[in-house]
Amino acid sequence: MDIQKLTVELQSGGITIPAYLAHPTAAQGLPLIVVIQEVFGVNAHIRDVTERLAGEGYIAIAPHIYHRQAPGFEVGYSRADLALGRDYKNGTQASELLQDIKGAIAYGRHHFGGSAAKVGCIGFCFGGHVAYLAATLPEIAATAAFYGAGISTFTPGGGPPTLSQTPQIQGTIHAFFGLQDPLIASAEIVQLEAALTQAGVDHCIYRYPQASHGFFCDRRDSRCLATGESFVSRPS
């Protein structure tokens, strides 16, 4: 499928931030997916994911959620890059992240879909946590959260953990975890699953026994560990 790709500007809580946009050439009325970066920024991998979603027939937009602290931030996967990305992660605020996502949705609807366009969200690493937070927005019909650490222990900028907002989720959520992930204990996955079940949220939890953190990313070695899925669960 022929796609167009470009960087655009969107409005977020009174400021302008950039976002990477990819969409099929004929995009009017197509579903919109907001793509949330890892701590490494809207780098080549996240742009590639955005383009791959566009190739499947979606309008995909990745807002630069670090723009307030580091305009144009994108790095690779060295230890220094990771440390810098985590510093910026620690400087984010849940309210601002939600504004960025709302801004991306508003941009997509204004240019492509109108108020009835379906909206999903996908995020990786810190973006997986942010995607879970985004799932609390009424506009989000479906969410894919990949190995979002700390959902049960904190919320960006402080306050009750993001997990405490689970009852606000109205759409479907799919969450993906590697059981060899040093950043996410199995007990946290169980806690998240229990919260979704208790809240009656339509959900699937995917567990990959041999996968470490970042297994979706095809630009680092952790992808090689994703060899299998133990089970999928749904609320009864």
- Which sequence positions are flagged as catalytic? 125, 181, 213
Q: Residue 47 belongs to what H/E stretch?
A: helix 44-55
Rounded alpha-carbon distances, angstroms, from residue 33 to 53, 58, 105, 147, 166: 8, 7, 8, 18, 20
Task: From 12, 38, 8, 36, select the one nearest 23 (Cα to Cα).
Answer: 8
- What backbone torsions phi and psi does residue 172 show, to the nearest 5 degrees? -95, 145
Dihedral sign from CA coordinates of 167, 37, 11, 117: negative
Residues in the chain, how many? 236
Nearest in space to 231 (alpha carbons), one of 197, 207, 215? 207
What's the token pair of residue 123?
């995020």
